[in-house]
Amino acid sequence: MEKIAFIGVGVMGKPMVLNLANAGYDVTIYTRTKSKVQDLLDQGITWKDTVCECIQNQDIIMTMVGYPQDVEDIYFGQNGIIKNAKKGAILIDFTTSSPKLAKRIYENAKENQLESLDAPVSGGDIGAKNATLSIMVGGDKQTFQKVKRILDTLGSSLYVGTAGMGQHTKMANQIVIAGTIAGVSEAIHYAEVHQLDMNILMQCITKGAASSWQLEHNGQAMIDGQFQPGFYIKHFIKDMKIAKEEMDNQKLPVLNTVLQMYQSLQEDDLGTQALIHYFKENS
């Protein structure tokens, strides 16, 4: 069975590592703060002190970090992935990042006899824990076919096209989320102003045409006053900025409006459901 290195074991990465280990894969991990993954180490998962050590002799190298700059650092540094992975290894980046960077990784990987996939995911921490992530995969189709059974231990994977197309698909996904979570926040604010019974409200609107993942999960979190991140505001702002850049200043009015709403909040370390605060602050 393939040996896997996993770089970046945070809110999303940790349950993904657990699901891989539970499926029987030999997983070696690296993340910035070792103490945050002590529970994984207690279960026998191997820790390494650097990216370079973590990827040594591994068949598949998976990454799930925060920002495009983080991706660039771990892939292209002197002690990074491309210069130190064994020949023939498959690189899979789950980070939501720049399509242009995904193409650059693909090209450099190929020059170094490596294979590369950009494979951003959607489903939040709940999807990561339940292994129900939607995984959007760009790169060579034959590479995707080699690892599909592994990806499917984490959720449902679908090949969407050449290098960078996984990231472009994720950008479309994030635009949908931007409009949806803004609508959910505004609806809940409206309901609170008019003193509706929130339990009855949710029973009604989660069973009709307004039903969505954002309503059922983040809408309920807003009602319950739970703002811990399943997905950080700061990472969603990053994603929306990437989408804007990829459109070369063409109009994205919904995304631009929601981006401005989030940027007006001083709550980068909360979950995206904290957008409800925008409506309360501006009512």
How does strand 26-30 pair with strand 46-47? Answer: parallel
Three-state SS at 131: coil
CB 136 within 8 A of CB 169: yes
Tokens of 283: 């009512």
Helices (H), 114-232: 124-130, 141-151, 165-193, 198-205, 213, 220-224
Dihedral sign, CA of 241, 122, 92, 168? negative
Amino acid at 39: D
- Residue by residue, DSSP assigns 198-220 as HHHHHHHHTSSTT--HIIIIIIH
Catalytic residue among 14, 103, 146, 170: 170
Please indicate whether residue 141 is annotated as part of the active site: no
d(CA 247, CA 175): 12
Residue where the block lists tokens 């980068």: 268
> How far is the C-alpha of 233 from the C-alpha of 48, rounded, in Å?
29
Which residues belong to the active site? 170
